[in-house]
Amino acid sequence: MSSNKLLLGLAGAAMLAGSMVVAPPVQAEDSIFVPMLTYRTGPFAGSGTPIMDGMHDYFTMLNERDGGIGGVMLEIEECETAYNAQKGVECYESVKDRDPVVINPYSTGITLQLIPKAPVDEIPILSMGYGLSATAVGESFPWTFNAPSTYWSQMSGIIRYIEAQGDGIAGQKIGFIYLDVGYGREPIPLLDELASEMGFEVVKIPVGVKDMQNQSSHWLQVRRERPDWMIMWGWGAMNPTAIKEAAKINYPMDHFIGVWWSGGNVDVTPAGEGAVGYLSANFHGTGTDFPAIQDIITHVVEAGKSLADPDTVGDNFYNRGVANAVATAEAIRTAQQVTGVSVVTGVEMREGLENLNITAERLTEIGLEGFMNPMQITCEDHAGAHPIYIQQWDGENWNRVSDWIEPMSDRVRPMLEAAAEAYLADKPEWQTQTCN
Amino acid sequence: MFYREAGQFKTNYRTDQAVFPIFQDKIGVLVILAFLFLVVPFWFNDFWLNSIMIPTLIFSLAAIGLNLLLGYAGQISLGTGGFMGVGAYSCYKLTTIFPDINILVHILLSGFFAAIVGILFGIPSLRIKGFYLAIATLASQFFLEWSFGRIGWLYNYNPSGAIEVSTKRMFGIAITGPHATSLTRYLIVLSIVVVLTWVASNLVRGRIGRAWMAVRDMDIAAELIGIRLLQAKLTAFAISSYFAGVAGALMVFMWLGAAEVESFDINHSFLILFMVVIGGTGSLIGSFMGAAFIWVLPIFLRAAPRVLGVDISAATVEHFNFMIVGGLIIFFLIVEPNGIARLWQIGKEKLRRWPFPY
């Protein structure tokens, strides 16, 4: 009896909570709403947490130090997705009526779900260095941005790096180990195309999400195939496992290159000495030797307003989050300048993103001199063919071992256009734009 | 006092075997339907329709599918996620091969493909039972997941490996894709779920359903009284998979708008299984309750801190969420192992005696 009454009470409480949710949350008129889709839980939390910390802290720093952007405070709110596409869509639905300025999905899977929704809801998507490569074609995807580089450009840059090393690339065997989801499969069309053209061989080794932490069979295959180079498109718990397994079979680490999502400090530290020499692509600086990062430390971390472990500030992925926040913040600033509206929403933000131009001078101005390559987005090119560089782990820090490597834009751009056309082929009502 | 059947005499078999033999139940169901069809569309906002009502209905349908198999026919299956995937992928293929046919026809047809696959993987059930069958269906789950990821034809060789929904119209109104309003999609999902639930309720009351229950209670005895096990078990797998397949197609076309292999992974199968177990095996209304409990509770818990004005991080809420939902599942299983549906039934019996219980 009593337990049943308790249940009834619980049910009643649930109903009450439900009825409260119906009322739309009151929002301050004079703030810019920046939702963050985060994953600090689940098997991808290792990669996700530092990025979310970096983003969160940079935005908070702008609020604390400058009082927001252009005098308008940012309202930052996290929604936990656990890298799960369904939860991601749920998060999107819960924020979309509150005039979010931009959505950073932080998952290629979630990005794919949101791309068709963006033009209808008029909320731009900034998938910074991930997502659907074809969305770089601004004419076909007015609402989606993937600067600084698509996966295809990045892959072409990595291939260029390999080509420039001792033995060149023709006749080499390249192993491609990837997380077997949309994200990992994304660069395959380009890799296949370049393989036939440049005369190298590709061995593809997919790692299922379930096998992320159990890759012994995959690396057995690597041992059998003996590829000259390994390229990894990994994420979450896959990265440290792969690096540990590679160390275990004595694979030469300086011939093992990770995508820029496979270069976190959390990815290399578990392998200890074995990871020394591991390479990874990148597009921004690491460490805390930048005035803006120092500002984050003073205004946010030391003020106790950060969720981050102070030791992780300046880590590769933490700075990735900062870079993402910089792009978002600069786009908001550009939107304010271009449209003259100070409390910008999605429509103005789209203008801001399309006119985004972070010059070297501007980077110095915001205290991030040399942090990243100047970044420009245009109406035609929502990714911008920005160069990448390769960094190497020395057991303590990441060191830059290459110059800025330009992607093979002449090769990649036609493929992007073809892919965009294929994507739109069965969508007659798709909203496109003409760039002048 | 009000909820009693005194005075309602059954004078023929037809009334005695009705879906709702008690008059008040009939009114109750009509009120609920009227609420869902007439009140919800006007009162609820987009978030409610899109993130709560539509998914709950779709998961209810999948849970009904699994319940037919697990609760009525007694065959354990861990392959529901895979069967839902078969429905979704075949619906996707149907829409690309026959783009001019109405999408609703495709959704209902796609269930048949799931049914065929269900029959194939149901064949082992003739020889193996219980946990061993669960493991055999687990194999189907992994095989299907592998197919969705590896057979390029299934996703039209899309580089991202995902299936996407394009805008389809009926009478000039967008019913799928980003242009379809959540209201349209909600009404379509609701109609399909209501019709299929009605079909299911008639199935389980009829010859087929009674054959399933006989097999569930003791298959040798069922065989001795003349029930063909082959037929009974395979129809259970087929019909259960049909429901799962339609639910999968609805999930992609009416709710998510795009899907990858991960949308149909093993966790998805477990989710549906939990819904059935929490809701109550062998009960259709339990499927709805289980789906609502498992799907809606975490959303409320996630929204609660913001509504109450408590400032805790989203990740902490998520951790609490896991603990609270997990704790409640254990609590329910201890207090009422037969699920929420059993509580509902007890409640109804108490109501009959109210206000003079004995």
Residue A136 to residue A10: CA distance in whole angstroms = 49
What string of pLDDT tens digits covers the 358 residues of chain B? 677 777 778 888 888 777 777 788 888 889 999 988 888 888 888 788 888 889 999 999 999 999 999 989 888 889 899 999 999 999 999 988 888 888 899 999 999 999 999 999 988 888 888 888 888 888 899 999 888 888 888 888 776 677 888 777 778 778 777 777 888 889 999 999 999 999 999 999 889 999 999 999 988 999 999 999 888 999 999 999 999 999 999 998 988 888 888 888 888 899 899 889 888 888 888 999 999 988 888 888 877 877 787 777 777 888 888 888 888 888 888 888 888 888 888 888 888 877 777 7
For residue A3, pLDDT over 80 is answered with no
- Does a structural domain hold residue B97? yes
- Does a structural domain hold residue A397? yes
- Does a structural domain hold residue A215? yes
**Burial zone of A145 (CB within 10 Å; 0-12 exposed, 13-18 middle, 19+ buried):** buried
- CB contacts of B296 in chain A (<8 Å) are 14, 18
Question: A253 and A338 in one domain?
Answer: no
B159 contacts A185? CB cut-off 8 A: yes
For residue A19, the model assigns a pLDDT of 43
- Selecting from B44, B96, B315 the residue whose C-beta is nearest the C-beta of A38 gives B315
Interface test with chain B among A51, A53, A113, A132, by most B beta carbons within 10 Å: A113
Question: A88 and A162 in one domain?
Answer: no
Which pair of structure tokens corresponds to residue A257? Answer: 């290159």
Do A306 and A76 meet the contact criterion of CB atoms below 8 Å apart? Answer: no
* DSSP state letter for B37: I
- Does a structural domain hold residue B2? no
For residue A237, the model assigns a pLDDT of 86
Q: Which residues contact B65 (CB under 8 A, 6 or more apart)?
A: B80, B83, B239, B240, B241, B242, B243, B244, B247
- Does a structural domain hold residue A5? no
Percent of chain A topping pLDDT 70: 93
Read out DSSP for B138-171? HHHHHHHHHHHHH-GGGGTT-TT--EEPPP-EET
3-state secondary structure of A359: coil
Q: Which residues contact A298 (CB under 8 A, 6 or more apart)?
A: none
Question: A243 and A171 in one domain?
Answer: yes
- Selecting from B45, B165, B260 the residue whose C-beta is nearest the C-beta of A181 gives B260
For residue A27, the model assigns a pLDDT of 47
Of A121 and A167, more confident: A121
Question: A168 and A101 in one domain?
Answer: no
Chain mean position to CA A299: 25
Domain count, chain B: 1
CATH code assigned at A396: 3.40.50.2300
Which pair of structure tokens corresponds to residue B34? Answer: 């009227």
Residue A76 to residue A102: CA distance in whole angstroms = 11
| H/E run at residue A157 | helix A151-164
For residue B1, the model assigns a pLDDT of 62
> For residue A436, what pLDDT band results from cuts at 50, 70 and 90?
low
Do B8 and B23 meet the contact criterion of CB atoms below 8 Å apart? Answer: yes
Question: A342 and A194 in one domain?
Answer: no
Helical H segments across B226-338, by residue range: 229-250, 266-279, 284-308, 314-335
> For residue A4, what pLDDT band results from cuts at 50, 70 and 90?
low
Interface test with chain B among A52, A93, A415, by most B beta carbons within 10 Å: A93
Domain that holds residue B238: 44-264
Residues 240-259 of B with CB under 8 A from A: 256-259
Nearest residue in A to B295, CA atom: A87
- Does a structural domain hold residue A418? yes
Question: A292 and A254 in one domain?
Answer: no
Instruction: Please give the span between the terminal C-alpha atoms of chain A, in angstroms, as a whole number.
Output: 74
- CB contacts of B258 in chain A (<8 Å) are 112-113, 116
Q: Which residues contact B188 (CB under 8 A, 6 or more apart)?
A: B104, B175, B254
> For residue A368, what pLDDT band results from cuts at 50, 70 and 90?
confident
For residue A99, the model assigns a pLDDT of 86
- CB contacts of A186 in chain B (<8 Å) are 159-160
Residue with tokens 């993402």: A324
B172 touches chain A (CB under 8 A): no
- CB contacts of B347 in chain A (<8 Å) are 4
B300 contacts A14? CB cut-off 8 A: yes
- CB contacts of B265 in chain A (<8 Å) are 209-210
To the nearest whole Å, the CA of A214 is away from the closest chain B CA by: 17
| H/E run at residue B331 | helix B314-335
Which pair of structure tokens corresponds to residue A194? Answer: 């370049």
- Selecting from B99, B260, B303 the residue whose C-beta is nearest the C-beta of A109 gives B260
- CB contacts of B314 in chain A (<8 Å) are 38, 40, 77-80
Residue A318 to residue A53: CA distance in whole angstroms = 6
Q: HSE (CB half, 13 Å, CA atoms) of A100? A: 26
pLDDT digits over A117-147, tens only?
888 888 999 988 888 888 888 888 889 998 7
Residue B203 to residue B197: CA distance in whole angstroms = 10
To the nearest whole Å, the CA of B354 is away from the closest chain A CA by: 14
Question: A326 and A209 in one domain?
Answer: no
Question: A403 and A270 in one domain?
Answer: yes
A419 contacts B313? CB cut-off 8 A: no
Peptide bond into B355 cis (omega under 30): yes
Query: What is the ipTM, given to two decimal places?
Result: 0.77
For residue A429, the model assigns a pLDDT of 74
For residue A22, pLDDT over 60 is answered with no
A426 touches chain B (CB under 8 A): yes
- Please count the residue pairs, one from chain A and one from chain B, whose beta carbons lie less than 8 angstroms apart: 135
B354 touches chain A (CB under 8 A): no
For residue A416, pLDDT over 90 is answered with no
Which pair of structure tokens corresponds to residue A143? Answer: 């609402």
Question: A402 and A267 in one domain?
Answer: yes
- Does a structural domain hold residue A105? yes
Domain count, chain A: 2
To the nearest whole Å, the CA of A127 is away from the closest chain B CA by: 15
- Does a structural domain hold residue A206? yes
For residue A12, the model assigns a pLDDT of 47
Question: A122 and A63 in one domain?
Answer: yes
Residue A231 to residue A244: CA distance in whole angstroms = 15
- Does a structural domain hold residue B209? yes
B159 contacts A188? CB cut-off 8 A: yes
A109 touches chain B (CB under 8 A): yes
For the ranges A19-28, A76-85, A393-402, B251-260, the lowest mean pLDDT is seen at A19-28
A188 contacts B179? CB cut-off 8 A: no
Nearest residue in B to A121, CA atom: B178
Do B65 and B269 meet the contact criterion of CB atoms below 8 Å apart? Answer: no
- Selecting from B55, B297, B346 the residue whose C-beta is nearest the C-beta of A14 gives B297
pLDDT digits over A68-89, tens only?
888 888 888 888 888 888 888 8
Residue with tokens 């890298």: A83
Residue B289 to residue B285: CA distance in whole angstroms = 6
Which pair of structure tokens corresponds to residue A17? Answer: 């909570």
Show the CA angle centred on residue A202, arms to residues A199 and A206, nearest 5°: 165
Question: A215 and A109 in one domain?
Answer: no
pLDDT mean across residues, chain A: 84
Question: A258 and A186 in one domain?
Answer: yes
Question: How far is the CA of A8 from the CAs of A4, A150, B358, in angstroms?
Answer: 6, 53, 21
For residue A20, pLDDT over 50 is answered with no
For residue A112, pLDDT over 80 is answered with yes
Domain that holds residue A92: 31-150+287-386+414-425
Interface test with chain B among A15, A120, A125, A423, by most B beta carbons within 10 Å: A120
Q: What letters, b where the CB count within 10 A reaches 16 and e where it falls short, cover B86-124? A: bbbbbbbbbbeeeeeeebbebbbbbbbbbbebbbebbeb
To the nearest whole Å, the CA of A156 is away from the closest chain B CA by: 17
